[in-house]
Amino acid sequence: MEENKNENIEQEENKTTEENKEQVKNEGELKKEAAEAFKQTKEQIKNMNFKEEAQKGKGLLGKLFKDPVGTIKEIVDDDKNQFYKTALFVVGIWVAIILIKQLLNFLIHEYYTFNALSVLKLLLAPILEVLVMAIVIHMLNKEHKQPLTKAITAVAIAKIPYVISACLGFLTYISSRMSYITSPIYSLLNVISTVLMFFVIKEMFKEKENSLKAFVKVEVVYYIAVFVFSFLGISI
């Protein structure tokens, strides 16, 4: 009996050791992927033709609303990740919209006080929103591992309705009554973005039967991260 007990303890120790090794390996791979993603992002931004990407983004938007499922599948299945630069352009527009709104608030509203740190946090929010979701998908998608940049591309494209929503926010500077029109549109665009994210996760995880389970799992981990960032004063 004592011998069996010792064997069980030894097995548990071996299991723990293997789990620790696997965790260290996963962390090392994630760091490597993050470094590679940062390198690619730098190169893509450096070589970006804004006029060309604006045209590509316009075409992608049309495809996304005509055939959302097919477009998401095309992006995920693209081995060359040709949409990465366009995805970065989309995030860049999102950040620019937030910056312009802050400048307008400063110029229009007397009560508004420009705070550099607060603005910086607001500008980081869309970048982190895309990056955190992409990292969560990348980490949980163990069976069908793809480059982190592919996850960033897919997530950024799924967030296009959010960017449209942010653009519509400029209408409230014309008249506060415009919010009666924009509010329901915001809600619709948020729903569309959530649906697109569902298909992103479904395609990246290659799930046909358990796609809802995978989606819920990713969303739960993502919102835990959102909760953590809220303590830093960053709302994503």
User: What's the mean pLDDT in 112-117?
Assistant: 81
Secondary structure percentages of the chain, helix, strand, coil, to 5 = 85, 0, 15
Write out pLDDT tens, residues 144-202: 888 899 999 999 999 999 999 999 989 888 888 888 888 999 999 999 999 999 999 99
pLDDT attached to residue 56: 86
- Please state the pTM of the whole predicted model: 0.84
Confidence of residue 41 (pLDDT cuts 50, 70, 90): confident
User: What's the mean pLDDT in 119-148?
Assistant: 91
194 and 215 in contact (C-beta within 8 Å)? no
Position 89 pLDDT exceeds 90:
yes
Average pLDDT, the chain: 85
Region of residue 78 (phi > 0: left; psi between -120 and 50: alpha; otherwise: beta): beta
106 and 122 in contact (C-beta within 8 Å)? no
The b-or-e profile of 146-164 (16+ CB within 10 A means b, else e) is: bbbbbbbbbbbbbbbbbbe
Alpha carbon distances (Å) from 128 to 48, 83, 155, 158, 190: 21, 19, 11, 15, 17
What is the torsional sign of CA 49, 50, 53, 54? negative
Residues 9, 142, 139: CA angle, nearest 5 degrees: 95
**Residues in CB range of 95: below 8 A, 6 or more apart:** 123, 126, 127
How crowded is residue 201: how many other Cβ atoms within 10 Å of its Cβ? 29
Query: Which of 22-26, 86-90, 180-184 ranks highest by mean pLDDT?
Result: 86-90
In 67-158, alpha helices (H):
68-77, 84-108, 116-140, 148-158
Lowest mean pLDDT across 17-31, 163-177, 222-236: 17-31
